[in-house]
Structure 1
Amino acid sequence: MKKIIYAITIFLIGACSSYQKSNAKFKAEKDSDGNLVGYATQNDFKQEPYGSEWFNDYYEYYETDKKTISELTPYLKDVTIKAFMGTWCDDSRREVPNFYKILNETNFDQNRLELVTVNRDKKAKGVEKGYNIERVPTFIFYRNGKEIGRFVEHTVNDAFLEQDILQIVSGKGYKHAYEK
């Protein structure tokens, strides 16, 4: 019995290790233009040159609407997010730090967030396929594996980003800036 448990343990450790290695190939790396392409995290944007050029300043400068943050928090508990952005894109540089600040203030579990950085052609090693990414940033919100809405490029009606997100996750009929 001990040999079986030992064999299963070794198998699971090996499986986890190979899973991490296969996912590591998508880690964001700089392309020939110096832009990140691949899966990225908030920590990637805090590093140079992104941190000093745009991320840290936008993050610190953005003041969230606290009332909206408190309304938004319970709606995010069962949501997953797939996000696409470009480190070359001014809209992404503005909205992504604000997006992270909102997620941090709502205590969003960032294990339920996948952020993909794309090149100027909005490509990222094929990860973007099937998501219909025409503009960045695009934040796609899911509940129970089903898309419930998306934020595309900028807020609607000069709203705060957190108000757009609240409208999406609360099911209030949000249409992004390019949706008819």
Structure 2
Amino acid sequence: MKKFITHIIFATAFIGSLQQFSAQKVVVNREVETQKDGKMLLGVQTKDQFTKVPYADWYTKEHDEYALDQKAISELKKRKINSYNLIVFMGTWCEDSHRDFPRLMKILEEVKYPEDKMTIIAVNRKKESPSGEEATYNIQKVPTIIVQKYGKEIGRIIEMPTTGYVERDLVEILNKDDQSVIKEIFK
């Protein structure tokens, strides 16, 4: 009987700790005010945050004026970019993020990329986020766009696309992934 009661107490404590662990919530759309940079987003964000003042000033202009490379867009659709996950680290204080983040969003809208497959994490000038995700992904510069498949990183764009176009760099990453699959098959 003592053993049975001990097991019940242990199970109850274990279940209680699991519930407490799962109850931890990620704060989304955190905004802070700094003396140097004014308002700044920090941590996990939704796309909608960037259409609000003061971020809309740079976001909307770059988003609306960017001319997409339609050939690269067709390749992204053909290569099924929607089957990949994206993790985007950016800074609302960063000029490179002001340029490439809205462009990325326009590209993803064009290919009808599902928003739930993308995580946007805003960092401060030290490239830190409130939950420390930047350490997990070794973020040194922003923006950094990480492309994952089945939880494994297959490529990233760091600070600026090497081709000059985010969509072309994404195509190159997806092409490398296709080639690595072919190499695995014919080993």
- TM-score bucket (shorter structure): 0.7 to 0.9
Q: Across the two proteins, how many residue pairs are aligned to each other?
A: 153
Equivalence for 1:129: 135
Selected match of 2:46 from 35, 41, 44? 41
Match of 1:129, SS state, is helix
2:133 partner amino acid: V
Which residue of structure 1 aligns with residue 146 of structure 2?
A: 140
Structure 2 spans left out of the alignment, 5+ residues? 1-18, 179-187
Q: Secondary structure of the residue that 1:39 maps to in structure 2?
A: strand
Shift of 1:168: 0.7
Contact 1:37/1:118 (<8 A) preserved = yes
- Runs (4+) off by over 6 Å: none
Q: 1:63 aligns with which of 67, 73, 76?
A: 67
Are the equivalent residues in 1 in contact too, given 2:91–2:123 (CA < 8 A)? yes
> 1: CA distance between counterparts of 2:84 and 2:117?
7
Name the counterpart of 2:118. 113
* Superposition pairs of residues 1-180 of structure 1, within 5 angstroms: 22-23=25-26, 25-32=27-34, 33-51=38-56, 53-75=57-79, 76-125=81-130, 126-157=132-163, 159-171=164-176
Counterpart of 1:178 in structure 2 is none
Identity %: 35
For the aligned residues, what is the CA RMSD? 1.9
The TM-score, its normalising length taken from structure 1, stands at: 0.79
Consecutive unaligned residues of structure 1, counting only runs of 5 or more, are: 1-14, 174-180
CA offset digits 1:32-70 (Å, max 9, x no partner): 24211111122100000110x200000000010111101
Q: Kindly name which structure, 1 or 2, has the bigger radius of gyration based on alpha carbons.
A: 2
